[in-house]
Amino acid sequence: MTAVIEARALAKSYGATRALDGASFTVESGRIVGLIGPNGAGKTTALRAILGLTHCEGELTVLGRDPRRQRDELMREVCFIADVAVLPGWLRVSQALEFAAGVHPRFDRARAGDFLRRTDIRMKSRVRELSKGMVTQLHLALVLAVDARLLVLDEPTLGLDLLYRRTFYDTLLNDYFNEQRTILLTTHQVEEIENLLTDVIFIDHGRVALAGAVDALGERYVQLTVTPEQAARERARALP
C-alpha cells in the first residue's frame, strides 16, 4: 500500500506546552483511520500540520507533498470538515455551491445538488437559517462533490443528535469512501465509529501510544476484568 501520510518525530510547542512530542505515524491509502486521544493530547495540532496550517519540527509528507510548502497543490486533493461552522451566516446555500465550483477545479456541482435534494435544505436558505445538523449536511455535500484522495474530519458530528450522527457516517461510508480514498478523523464518540474504522492512532501528551489496524488489536491486547470481590484483595490492587 502507498502511504498517504508519513509523519516522523513531529514536535510542536505553544509556549511551555508541548502539543506534539516526537509523534510518528503512517496512514496508508484506502483506510479509515481514527486519531483518538483525550482533550489536549495533540490531535488538532497534528491535523493542522497535515493540512499545512501550522509548522512542526520533524518530517511530514501528505500525498507525497510538503503540506506547508506545497499547500496549494495539496488542497486540490484534500477535503476538510472542522468541528465548527466555517460558512458565513449571510451566505445562501446556492451561493456556497457557486463559490465551491469557482475555486475548486474538482468540484462537481451536480453531485452536491443531488445530495442536498435528499435533505430538507433549500437552495435559497441562508446558512444562519439552518440548524447545526443542516449546516453539517451542507459541509458534507460540499465535500462529497470534490474528487479528493484524502478527507480530514475534526469532530465532524460534535453537538449533533444521534440520528444526524448516524446519517452522517452512513453517507460517508456509502457515498464517499472507496479504495482510492482515505479518511482521517478525530472524535470523542469512539463507540459510534469503532465498526467503521480500519485503523486507530491513539495519541496522548503529544506522543503516539498505539497505532495499528483495528482487526489486529485483539492479537496484541487482552482486557482484564476484575470483580469487586477480587479487587478487594491485595494481589489485585497491586497489579499495574
The yes-or-no verdict on residue 1 having pLDDT over 60 is no
Cβ(157)–Cβ(168) under 8 Å?
A: yes
- Give the span between the Cα atoms of 153 and 47, in whole angstroms: 9
pLDDT for residue 157: 80
Hey, what domains does the chain have and what are their CATH numbers?
1-74+149-155+180-240 (3.40.50.300), 78-147 (no CATH)
Cell reading at 114: 443531488
Please answer whether residues 8 and 24 qualify as being in contact, where contact means their C-beta atoms are separated by less than 8 angstroms. Answer: yes
Give CA–CA dist 136/28, Å, rounded.
27
pLDDT band with cut points at 50, 70 and 90 for residue 219: confident
Mean pLDDT of 29-52: 92
Burial of 109 (0-12, 13-18, 19+ CB in 10 A): middle
DSSP 8-state secondary structure symbol assigned to residue 127: G
Q: pTM to 2 decimals?
A: 0.84
> In angstroms, rounded to a whole number, what is the distance separating the alpha carbons of residues 118 and 145?
14
Higher local confidence (pLDDT), 206 or 217: 206
Which residues, in sequence order, are CB contacts of 221 under 8 Å at separation 6+?
Answer: none
How far is the C-alpha of 32 from the C-alpha of 184, rounded, in Å? Answer: 6
